[in-house]
Structure 1
């Protein structure tokens, strides 16, 4: 009888352990990109250890009505990143593997890390 109660308690403990949400993982490293600042000069943007599975709209180019998109992304994280032409991970997309780089022709406003 005691063995049955112990097994039930162990099963309940394991169920709670796996039901508890785990903390968000991060794509360790830097994601770099280039954008034009308010004066029309090229500027460097960077995301450090961005959260995984969370859409990140690049703050410098978030508004399509007032800014040009960012370009030339460099994925220096350990995760694959999918970049989107629109804010909020909308529009056309392209994926860069860890260590991947793209030319000035690749435009982006948001990113999603695996």
Structure 2
């Protein structure tokens, strides 16, 4: 937990304003037993976090991970806890992202929005 606290102290303030409340709620979790009492921690531990990247950003991330020595650990974290949605086209503003959000569970995937 000490490493997590240092990581949060260093990078927490750099996160977007709309994540600050969630980060503060997650700071209360210091061990595995406390996840059960924290609704937000339960949601994050049972669902993958969805991240949207442009095709260029996705390519650069993959290239970076293959160049790093510690990448197997990071790749494992990404595979187990994050869904990367590669988007074509220009980046979106926060207002555009917010208008398509699905609450705490994130944005619906493209396949879920398709008609049959």
The structure number with the bigger radius of gyration is 1
Higher strand share: 1
- For normalisation by structure 1, the TM-score amounts to 0.22
Structure with greater proportional helix content:
2
